[in-house]
Chain A
Amino acid sequence: MLIEAALSGLILGGMYALVAMGLSLQYGVARIMNLSYGELLVAASFSAWALFTGAAVNPLAGLLAVVPAAFAASWLVYRLLLAPLVRRARTRDALEVDTILATFGLAFVVQGVMLGFFGGAYYSYGYLAVPVKILGATVAVNRLIALGVAVAIGLALYFGLTRTRAGTAVRAVAVDPESARLVAIDVRATAGFAFALGGALVAAGGVLVSMFLTFNANLGVLFTMKALIVVIMGGVGNLLGALIAGLLLGLTETFVATWVDPGLTLAATYSLFLLVLLARPQGLFGGSGR
């Protein structure tokens, strides 16, 4: 029972981490508090659904189409919509307020487009909903894949950001855009790249969760909220932090649901969030880079 609960918790947490890592990049590096994040995730879910039901493309192969498309679309959004805000912002706080307003509007646009295409009804399809036994506990393959991808992306990006030259440039922009310019880093291009990469990650998350979650055009805000908690808890801009925070939340939720009361999962999640913020306002792994 302990193994079963722990495994379910890790898998749920992996999903949380997966949907949060893109936001961590966008907020942590590009300094864009993207409130349309959840809508973009749901849009990716819809794309996966359309590919699966319309063209019989399985969602894992669909990733190959959806993720690059999301990267390109996010880059365009950054260049056309957000770069002007970045240019005119005097302080980081001003930029944050501006981008919150702009992406809040974008959220409604994306939601409106999805409503136009798909209406408000629920969508769902089944892929790889097959059981697999791990340490005596039964889990679904599709959820396990989401966990695996979350761990892989989290580790790859963590090492990519800390061990490579390009990653160091990205971190330099995250820490201090002004000084980064002094060492010949193209700040706007780097920030745009980070934002687009975040967009690619959220699309990957959207495609993967669509394998097992039922979604409709109005579900975005739920994902934005969850991602925000994970990102802030893990430390803004820290992918490994997001991964660990997501797993922690998943474990807490599952343990509370199993041994205390499923009605208290939300309360437990927010208490944990509060505790972390009280002890470490910069997040579990935040601050070291700044």
Chain B
Amino acid sequence: MTLRNSIRTTLAAASLAALAAAGAALAQDIKSIKVGYAISKTGPNAGGAATTNIPQYEMWVKEVNAKGGLMLKSVGKRVPIEVIEYDDRSNSEEAVRAVERLITQDKVDLLFPPWGTGLNLAVGPVFNKYGYPQLTFSAVTDKAPELAKRWPNSFWFLGTSKQYIDALADLLAKARKDGRINGDIAMISIADGFGIDLASAARAGFAKAGFKLVYDKSYPIGTQDMSPLLGEAARSGADTFVAFSYPPDTFALTEQSKVASYAPKVMFLGVGTFFSMYPEKFGPGVEGITSLGGWAPNNKAVLEYAKKHQEMFKRGPDRWGAVVGYASLQMLEQAIERVGKIDRPAIIKELQTGTFNTVIGKMKLVNNMPKDAYPLIGQWQKGFYAGVAPAGPNAAALVIPKAPWK
């Protein structure tokens, strides 16, 4: 070995060592991955946020941190997650301010979305401006495909109102063809985002499927007595009763139908029907009641997830958005670990194109939305909220007529 060579080798070794040291210093610099979210802890949205979103966030963070954090290849180790949480007070200006603060002052690495269609639309431009992935799972809007195009960083896991209405109309059309129900539908809806959206989609969808809306009324938020509406629906002679309602009204509708012994052949109620407290409150009386969402009857992973949820929060998850939201977080986790660093454009790209293993099965997004990944319509069957549409190997059959009240 010549002197020159020796020097060269020494220099190379030294610089390598220096590089390695720098690398180690860099790795030690990333002590945590900061995840932030602004969510409705107070105000009218708090009930939905506490039921659908917050448990998924807490559960996922706890599980990831129990493993030591997210595996980042770029630093060669697991990095734990640190959470920053704000209350948006169910107010869109507040939500926008809080998200901006999370990005610019707290300098979070990732953001979780707020609860509800309205707030997700409100914060959408901010997520988009700073290029943060927005994985919504408590927003239903017919604009979802358009939004996914305008904001490629936004993902709409619950899809459009139309897809739910189409699935419901298909089910009903089949039942009518089989002579199990007549062609009349009585529909009520809450005069607020969710109710207005779904009711207008339903007017079009039911008409297209050849149904006649013999009763179609909306009612204001905070209505505490549903008996006049139920009375009119019963007198309308429709075999199918559809309510796009919020949890307090859903519970009142159920209790007051039971008291009045109003048991239409198909009874479809809104948000709340798929909460775990629903069968706890009404017992076997819920048999045959239909609503959004549902679980595939044969999916063991979902049941395990539900058990963990029950242990952690002392109540079960809702049977619509919750498990989809949890799956979206699993996708986010896998996307980050595949990219190997907090490179948001690359993570978004991976979410758009990758295939992921989740609690509800293999997921691959099409235009930033899942396709046939979970049931759209569910029904309480022997204490289990089974998915009944869209039809497929994972769907149970719709039971008609709804059992009489007990």
Interface residue ranges, A against B (CB under 8 Å):
1, 4-5, 8, 11-12, 15, 111, 115, 119-126, 129-131, 138-140, 212-219, 222, 250, 253-254, 257-258, 261-263, 265-266
Interface readout for B28-48 with A: 1 if CB under 8 Å, 0 if not?
000000000000111110110
Task: Chain A residues near B259: list those with CB within 8 A.
Answer: 129-131, 138-140
Which residue of the partner chain, among B51, B228, B261, contacts A5 with CB atoms under 8 Å? B228
Task: Chain A residues near B106: list those with CB within 8 A.
Answer: none
Interface readout for B77-116 with A: 1 if CB under 8 Å, 0 if not?
0000000000000100000000000000000000000000
Pair B46/A217 contact, Cβ less than 8 Å: yes
| B391 on interface, CB distance cutoff 8 Å | no
Interface readout for B218-237 with A: 1 if CB under 8 Å, 0 if not?
11101111011101100000
Task: Chain B residues near A111: list those with CB within 8 A.
Answer: 42
Which residue of the partner chain, among B191, B247, B315, contacts A214 with CB atoms under 8 Å? B247
Beyond A115-B41, A263-B218, 7 additional pairs, beta carbon < 8 A? A8-B225, A120-B50, A121-B47, A121-B51, A124-B277, A126-B282, A262-B218
Pair B46/A138 contact, Cβ less than 8 Å: no
Can you list 17 A-B contacts (CB < 8 A)?
A: A5-B228, A8-B231, A11-B225, A119-B50, A119-B54, A120-B47, A122-B251, A122-B272, A131-B259, A138-B259, A140-B255, A214-B252, A253-B225, A254-B228, A258-B232, A262-B220, A266-B220
Interface readout for B364-394 with A: 1 if CB under 8 Å, 0 if not?
0000000000000000000000000000000
In B7-65, the 8 Å CB interface with A consists of 40-44, 46-47, 49-51, 54
Pair A218/B43 contact, Cβ less than 8 Å: yes
Which residue of the partner chain, among B49, B225, B228, contacts A120 with CB atoms under 8 Å? B49
A262 to B108, CA, bound (A): 46
Pair B225/A254 contact, Cβ less than 8 Å: yes
**Chain A interface, DSSP helix/strand/loop, else mixed:** mixed
Report the minimal beta-carbon distance from B41 to chain A, rounded to whole angstroms. 6
- Interface-centre pick from A12, A120, A138, A266 (highest chain B CB count, 10 A): A120
Name the residue of chain B whose CB is nearest to the CB of A131: B259
A130 to B258, CA, bound (A): 8
Q: How many A-B residue pairs have CB under 8 A?
A: 115
Which bracket fits the contact residues of B? 35 or more
Given contacts A120-B40, A218-B44, whether A263 and B217 have CB atoms under 8 Å apart is yes
Given contacts A12-B225, A129-B255, whether A213 and B40 have CB atoms under 8 Å apart is no
Which residue of the partner chain, among B40, B41, B220, B315, contacts A263 with CB atoms under 8 Å? B220
Task: Chain A residues near B326: list those with CB within 8 A.
Answer: none
Report the minimal beta-carbon distance from B54 to chain A, rounded to whole angstroms. 8
A126 to B286, CA, bound (A): 13
Report the minimal beta-carbon distance from A211 to chain B, rounded to whole angstroms. 10
Pair A265/B219 contact, Cβ less than 8 Å: yes
| B182 on interface, CB distance cutoff 8 Å | no
Task: Chain A residues near B128: list those with CB within 8 A.
Answer: none
